[in-house]
Amino acid sequence: MCTFQSKRPRLFASSSVNLLGIETSCDESSVAIVKNGTKPIAEATASQVKLMAKYGGVVPELSARKHLEALPILFEECKSQSGGVFNRLSAIAVTNNPGLPPALATGRAFAEGVAFGLELPLVEVNHLDAHLCSVLLEDDPPKDAPKNFQNRVFFPHVALLVSGGHTGIFLSKAPMRHELIGSTRDDAAGEAFDKVARMLGFKYPGGPEISRWADVAFAIPKKSWRLKVNPFTLPLADELFDFSFSGLKTAVRRLIVSLSTDEKNKVPKDIEIEKLGCALPTSLRAEIAYYFQETVTDSLVGKALNAETKFKTGLITLTGGVAANKRLREKLSSFTAKAGIKIKYPNLNRCTDNATMVASAGYFILLNQSQK
């Protein structure tokens, strides 16, 4: 939705349309400038992750306060990085939903102020649309990009979006034209990573921690592992496109309780799960992290491949915070390569929340409006 009347109505008459994006949906404050929806010009991001780790998760009011402090500084930084492009902005884009309401409201108020001050239109961007646009950005391919990495995406393609709040598969037909074909029936994958990490006594955010501990387990010879086979079953192992992660989370909980039960089958009195998890030997917690990550990534990759088998687009894209997961990237790369399918995911800094993808989505919203 465009909420301010543009003082420069013929936006697309110019060969370069620069948008300033603002992102504050969760615990990253970010400001960025993007040219023509794909070319990153400037970006400044401040993460609250270290602060929120002290609380074991995001505290919405505190997050909003931190956004308020960070945004003016990031805005100035972005302005000076932009080498004059700031003076040729066409619109301001801001994340409007979904996200933490106090955090979103802060970004929105700041964006309104900037749009009003610069006499530019304000475009509201859905956070999921922004993640889906992150693969359209013309970044250099990651250094470890596999052979079947497709730097310039084409349409239609299958888009797997995996974040802390959402997990879904889309048939992406054009920028900002996505048909949802599968989604989680309960928890998002990132949420499951975070909750399981907490049960095992790992730090917030759980995704990177689970990944780190899974690597620790992987480095230990399997013969000395206590859990010789994967104790978890693949959720919704069917030919369709929906996910479910809450049963897996419960299975982790049950496993922790059973591993904490002594030889006389005495269920521990203190069944506060985090305490039980923390009390398990480190190597065993690492093994659980490993198997959990294997199961989640098998599910994600399996469903994306199901979708590709049906729609035969030739390309699968991977976006959202969980797209930063090394094992997920590896698995998706190897299965797609075997099947002759291309793959695209953003650089690590564009997987988690950032304003560059918001500015990109804002551009395509305006472009679509101008073509109606």
Tell me which residues touch Zn ion (CB under 5 A).
163, 353
If we measure between CA atoms, which residue out of 138, 107, 135 comes closest to residue 123? 107
**Shortest distance, position 198 Cβ to ligand KG4, whole Å:** 11
**Residue 204 to residues 49, 82, 216, 217, Cα–Cα distance (Å):** 8, 33, 18, 19
Full DSSP string of 236-301: T-SSSS-B--HHHHHHHHHHHHHHHS-TT----S---HHHHHHHS-HHHHHHHHHHHHHHHHHHHH
Q: 21 vs 121, which CB is nearer to ligand KG4?
A: 21
Query: Residue 243 burial (CB < 10 Å; 0-12/13-18/19+)?
Result: buried
Q: Figure out which of the listed residues 21, 190, 346, 362 binds ligand KG4, where binding follows CB under 6 A.
A: 190
Which of 85, 162 has the CB closer to ligand KG4?
162
> How many residues line the site for ligand KG4 (CB under 6 A)?
19
Distance from C-alpha of 309 to C-alpha of 314, rounded to nearest angstrom: 9
Non-local CB neighbours of 27 within 8 Å, separated by 6+ positions: 47, 48, 49, 52, 58, 63, 103, 353
Is 21 a binding residue for ligand KG4 by CB under 6 A? The answer is: no
Q: How far is the CB of 118 from ligand KG4 (least distance, A)?
A: 28
Other C-beta atoms lying within 10 Å of the C-beta of residue 14: 12
The least distance separating Zn ion from the CB of residue 147, rounded to whole angstroms, comes to: 29
Out of 313, 325, 333, 336, point to the residue binding ligand KG4 (CB under 6 A): 325
Q: Which one of Zn ion, ligand KG4, none interacts with residue 18, CB within 5 to 8 A by kind?
A: none
Give 194 or 287: the residue with its C-beta nearer to ligand KG4: 194
Residue 321 found at the interface with ligand KG4 (CB under 6 A): yes
CB of 296 to ligand KG4, least distance (A): 8
Candidates 37, 40, 107, 320: give the one binding ligand KG4 (CB under 6 A): 320
Interacting residue ranges for ligand KG4, rule: CB under 6 A: 26, 163-165, 190, 193-194, 205-208, 211, 320-322, 324-325, 352-353
